[in-house]
Every structure is written in structure tokens, then in C-alpha cells.
Amino acid sequence: MSVEVMVGLSGGVDSSVAALLLQREGVAIAGMFMQNWEDEEPTSGCSVDADRKDAVAVCARLHINLHLCNFAAQYRTQVFEHFLAEHRRGRTPNPDVLCNREIKFKTFLEHAQALGARQIATGHYARLDCVDGLWRLLRARDTDKDQTYFLHALGQQALAATRFPLGELDKPQVRALAREAGLPTHAKKDSTGICFIGERNFRSFLSRYIPAQPGVMCTPDGIRMGEHAGVFHYTLGQRGGLGIGGRKDGDGEPWYVVGKDVAANILYVAQGNANQFLQSHRLVADELIWIAGAPPAQAFRCTAMTRYRQPPQACSVNLVGDQALVEFDAAQRAVTPGQSVVFYDGPVCLGGGVIDRSDAAFGGWRTHEA
């Protein structure tokens, strides 16, 4: 029997239930396990071997074929190299967005179609519909699990060939379905973080590729607070790992990263979760991608997210050349260059771009890049 849909099986409960639901619909399916990372460190903490075994066990339970594919070379050149380049600029990239666009919904899709499948399916929490010939990406019913933030860079061709079986479900329902069906992944813990880092310390991992250069840590007004381990290891809004203890002239509030000057190798810090140096009303984004193929207008109102699981925030968007100037109705905390800003019209994801800079109090519109 020919395969209609190739399901990307990660070895987790979400993709397992995606396959289960399609099979119950009577869809002819097969599974594909994608290995996207190879590490020379045997104790890296990346769970690829255990995940592969779980994918095999799920396919055995569902009596479907499993294809094992290694996309590590494509991942390294199309995702990981960009990840390193952004960190060298002092930015904080989001590799999941690029992985979805370049690997899961391009390389995987092309490979599945070469094997005869018409469509692919994944365990992402998102929904799709088609209006007037255009595919739309919609937020999942379970807004706490919604993953459209990471899927905003997909175009019409990818969406037309994709199915998201979990879009109408919440996580407890997914686990209940897996348990009732006897799937071996029903109680498996959700994966978190970035696969290629696994359970390792982020700082030690990054130092393998970008040598640490300790430098001065100070406040925006130049008061020295100590030394940092390398500006590449920190992100805006970060609290942990600063090593700043109590000060006689301090107010007892925790310290946070508020800026990075890569050229001068200076890390800037300030006290208080809501300090003025972390607040932004405006940002500039580039590398814009519109799911419909074009923006709704040159200037429009919408909501936007600057980080995952943030409630969408009311804003105005003005397009100037190949950039978007986004102005929020309320101040946004820790708007971070390198991360994505994603636009919504109600539940419909319009697309997004990469944050280049914001008007946070420290530094104005400067990027402090090398």
C-alpha cells in the first residue's frame, strides 16, 4: 500500500499520537525518524539513541514502517553554522525556527515526497486551513502549547503539504490517547532546550566553538561590578550566572543582563526585573517572512510575540524597505536581537522576522555589535 502521509517521529509522545490519529482516520502512513545532530562527545546528553528506540517501538505498536534518516550534515550547514555566527555577533539566535524551515519542512518534506508520500505530518501544536486558495497557519486550541511562534517561517508550499493532527487537542488529551492506545511514549517527559546541547552546560558547549574571552561587567553608568566569562554566553534579561552578590549600596534586587558590547567585550548589568534598561516600546526586525507571500499592508495593526509562550501583544507595524518597525502599545521586557518577532491577526499567524534592535533605555537603537 502506498504511503499518503509520512509522519516525523521524534520518539516523543506528541509525534506518536499524531501518527495514531492519522491511522485512526484511515490514512496510509509511515514514520520517519530524523537524526539531525552527531556529536563526538559520547556523554553529550543528546538523547538520539533513546529517541530512535522509542520511535521504533511506536511503529511496532502501530504496525507501520519506519524510515531512519540522517540529516546531520544539512543541519550543521543550514542551522548550526548560523547559530554560531549569530552568537559571534553577540546576538541570541533561535535555532528551532531555522530548523523547522530548512530541515523539518524542507529536507524532510523533500525526502518524504521522494519516497512517494504526498504529505508530511508532525506533532506540533498548530492548525491549518485554506481560504481563497491560500493556506493559513493558526494558533493551536491549547494556547499554552501553541508552537506557531516556531513555525512562522513556513511558506505556502510547505503548509500545503503538511498536517498537524494535534492542533485541536491539549497536552492531557494527547497523553490520555497515548496511554489508552498502549503507546510506549505515553509517560515520556517532554524534551526541552536545544537538541545539540542536550544536558550539557551551555557555556562549556559554546566554548568549544567560540573561545571564551573574559571581560569587564559593569552598570550602564560605568560602575564596575566584576568580570564576565565571555559576552557570547549571556542573553538580555538573564539573571543566573552573573556572580554578583549583595552590595552595601544596592537595593537587594537581583541583577540582570541589560546589554552587550561585543567590540569592547563589556557586559552591562542592572538591578531589578522591571528596570528601565530592559524595557522597549519599539523594535526593528529584518529577514521578514510572510506566510501568505506578502504582508497584509505597508502599515497595519496586529499583535506580536517577541518570545515563545508570551501572550500576543498589541502593536503597530510599519514596513520600510526590507525592515519592519514595530511599536507596541505597552512596554516589552528584554526584547532580544537575534530572536524572532512573530505577527498575528487573531489566531492567524501572519509571519515574522528577526529582531535587529530595540529602543531599550540602555544604548537607544545601538546594536553594540563587533
Residue pointed to by grid coordinates 567585550: 265
State the pLDDT at residue 245.
67
> Residue 132: how many CA atoms within 13 Å on its side-chain side?
1
Strand partners, 267: 217, 260
Same structural domain for residues 27 and 176? Answer: yes
Does residue 191 lie in a domain region?
A: no
Residue 58 CB: number of other CB atoms within 10 A? 29
Mind telling me the catalytic residues? 99, 195
All residue ranges of the chain with pLDDT < 70 are 1, 40-46, 198-199, 245-251, 363-370
Same structural domain for residues 331 and 261? Answer: no
Residue 336 CB: number of other CB atoms within 10 A? 24
Same structural domain for residues 176 and 36? Answer: yes
Q: What is the domain count for the chain? A: 3
Q: Is 170 exposed, middle or buried (0-12, 13-18, 19+ CB in 10 A)?
A: middle
Q: How many helices (H) and strands (E) does the chain have?
A: 10, 17
Residue pointed to by grid coordinates 522509542: 54
Residue pointed to by grid coordinates 532546550: 193
From 315, 317, 302, select the one nearest 347 (Cα to Cα).
302
**347-358 pLDDT, tens per residue?**
999 999 999 999
CA 181 – CA 20 distance, rounded (Å): 8
From 337, 336, 112, 81, select the one nearest 196 (Cα to Cα).
81
Same structural domain for residues 166 and 235? Answer: no
Q: Is 346 exposed, middle or buried (0-12, 13-18, 19+ CB in 10 A)?
A: exposed
CA 85 – CA 54 distance, rounded (Å): 34
CA 284 – CA 328 distance, rounded (Å): 12
Contact 262, 369 (CB under 8 A): yes
State the pLDDT at residue 356.
96
Residue 213 CB: number of other CB atoms within 10 A? 12
Contact 197, 36 (CB under 8 A): no
Same structural domain for residues 40 and 71? Answer: yes
Same structural domain for residues 59 and 81? Answer: yes
**Residue 192 cell numbers, joined:** 526541552
Predicted TM-score (pTM) of the model is 0.94
Contact 123, 16 (CB under 8 A): yes
Q: Are strands 299-305 and 323-333 parallel, antiparallel or unpaired?
A: unpaired
State the pLDDT at residue 370.
35
Same structural domain for residues 66 and 149? Answer: yes
CA angle 290, 281, 251 (to 5 degrees): 135
Domain of residue 68: give its range: 5-180
From 308, 91, 368, 34, select the one nearest 206 (Cα to Cα).
91
State the pLDDT at residue 363.
59
Contact 107, 74 (CB under 8 A): yes
- The residue from 203, 237, 271 where one domain ends is 271
Phi, psi values for residue 277, rounded to 5°: -75, -10
What are the start-end ranges of the E strands in 3-63? 5-8, 29-35
Q: Is 218 helix (H, G, I), strand (E, B) or coil?
A: strand
Long-range contacts for 18-21 (Cβ within 8 Å, ≥24 apart)? 18/121, 18/122, 18/123, 18/164, 18/165, 18/166, 19/58, 19/59, 19/62, 19/64, 19/121, 20/62, 20/177, 20/178, 20/181, 20/183, 21/165, 21/166, 21/177
Same structural domain for residues 257 and 293? Answer: no
Q: Which residues contact 300 (CB under 8 A, 6 or more apart)?
A: 316, 317
Does residue 204 lie in a domain region?
A: no
- For residue 235, give the CATH number of its domain: 2.30.30.280
- For residue 86, give the CATH number of its domain: 3.40.50.620
Contact 8, 104 (CB under 8 A): yes
Which H or E run includes 270?
strand 266-271
Does residue 70 lie in a domain region?
A: yes
DSSP state of 314: E
**183-238 pLDDT, tens per residue?**
999 999 988 777 777 667 888 888 999 998 999 999 999 999 999 999 998 999 99
Same structural domain for residues 256 and 147? Answer: no
Does residue 369 lie in a domain region?
A: no
